């Protein structure tokens, strides 16, 4: 399958599972302070300004355990400035789709 076809396929499968309440992607505010020292010196001021303006977020992919019905973690990435998925969405959707096939979560196993 071509990469763009694979991505489209992932999106369709994810949407069907999402509508069934089995998977979800959600944003959560990242309360860890963004460490601007991780960035190039010339970018730090701009990064700090953007973080202030758009917030710092985590993107989380989850699946619902068919047994206990709790939402369980599939994938997550933190310290994202603004709610731009940075290209993580297809990979995260695939992880949630994969986990949604499980009979139950690790806690129920
Ligand atoms: Zn469970």
109: in domain = no
**pLDDT in the model for residue 2:** 86
Give me the number of domains the chain comprises.
Answer: 1
Residues with Cβ < 8 Å from 89, sequence gap 6 or more?
Answer: 25, 59
Distance 94 CA to ligand 1 centre (A): 20
Q: What is the pLDDT of residue 103?
A: 95
Residue 90 CA, ligand 1 centroid: distance in Å = 24
Distance between CA atoms of residues 104 and 78, nearest Å: 26
Has residue 61 been placed in a domain? yes
Q: Averaged over 84-101, what is the pLDDT?
A: 95
Residue 58 CA, chain-centre distance (Å), reads 7
Give the count of beta carbons closer than 10 Å to the beta carbon of residue 74: 21
Q: What is the pTM of this model?
A: 0.87
- The predicted pLDDT at position 33 comes to 79
pLDDT (0 to 100) of residue 37: 87
| pLDDT interval class at 86 (50, 70, 90) | confident
Q: Which domain holds residue 50?
A: 3-100
pLDDT tens digit sequence for 23-36: 999 999 998 878 88
Query: What 3-state class would DSSP assign to 47?
Result: helix
Over range 93-109, report the average pLDDT.
96
Does residue 30 sit within a domain? Answer: yes
Whole-number Å distance, alpha carbon 70 to ligand 1 midpoint, is: 6
The answer to whether residue 67 sits within a structural domain is yes
Report the pLDDT value the prediction gives residue 24, as an integer from 0 to 100. Answer: 98
* Any domain includes 18: yes
The pLDDT score that the predictor gives to residue 68 is 97
Residue 106: inside a domain: no
Does residue 107 form part of some domain?
no
**108 domain-assigned:** no
Kindly give the distance from the C-alpha atom of residue 57 to the centroid of ligand 1, in angstroms, as a whole number.
26
């Amino acid at each position: 399958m071509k990469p763009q076809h694979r991505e489209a396929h992932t999106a369709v499968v994810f949407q069907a599972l999402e509508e069934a309440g089995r998977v979800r992607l959600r944003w959560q505010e990242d309360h860890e302070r963004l460490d601007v020292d991780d960035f190039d010196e010339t970018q730090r001021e701009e990064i700090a300004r953007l973080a202030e303006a758009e917030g710092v977020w985590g993107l989380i992919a989850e699946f619902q355990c068919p047994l206990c019905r709790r939402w369980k973690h599939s994938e997550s990435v933190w310290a994202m400035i603004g709610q731009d998925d940075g290209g993580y969405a297809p990979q995260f959707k695939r992880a949630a789709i994969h986990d949604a096939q499980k009979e139950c979560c690790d806690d129920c196993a």
